[in-house]
Amino acid sequence: METKYDMDFDIFLKNFKQQVSKLGFKNSIQKDYILKILFYSDEHLTAEQIAAKVKKEHNIDVGIATVYRTMKFFEDLNIIESLDVGDSVKRYELSLSLHHDHLVCTSCNKIIEFTDELIEEQQIKVAKEHNFNLKDHVMTIYGLCENCQ
């Protein structure tokens, strides 16, 4: 199965389990399946979508409360990032890919990832002009996708 990451899932999972163990936390099969869904997804998934995909693709019932707790755990470990497109529903993606920004359709909630070196350079320039130590940024542009125009 193709992914957008330069890493094999088995290696990713092994590293995750080692990190969790070093921190003194327990791993679970549910976490493994949730990670697998996120790893192979080309979409930014909601907790409900994750639970449904675990059930459909792996025939494992994962309660929605378990998914939400797991997503919070993953966010605390910086394994995932969440994105709210303005509808108060968090969508999740792994933090493995290079920095990117998002275009969000305000009609269908489609999310398009993009990178633009000029924008990145401009943000660094603006931070320097204001004597601001830039640590990170999130850029989300809202509008209408091609299908909704």
User: What is the structure's pLDDT at 136?
Assistant: 84
Question: What is the SS3 assignment for 117?
Answer: helix
**Residue 2 confidence class, pLDDT cut points 50, 70, 90:** low
Tell me if 36 is assigned to some domain.
yes
DSSP 45: B
Residue range 15-68, pLDDT digits in tens: 999 999 999 998 899 999 999 999 999 899 999 999 999 999 999 999 999 999
Least confident span in 54-63, 74-83, 91-100: 91-100
Question: pTM of this prediction?
Answer: 0.78
Query: Within this chain, do residues 66 and 110 fall inside the same structural domain, yes or no?
Result: no
Number of domains composing the chain = 2
CATH for 124? 3.30.1490.190
At 122 the three-state DSSP class reads: helix
In angstroms, the CA 88 to CA 53 distance is 21
* Residue 1 predicted with pLDDT over 70: no
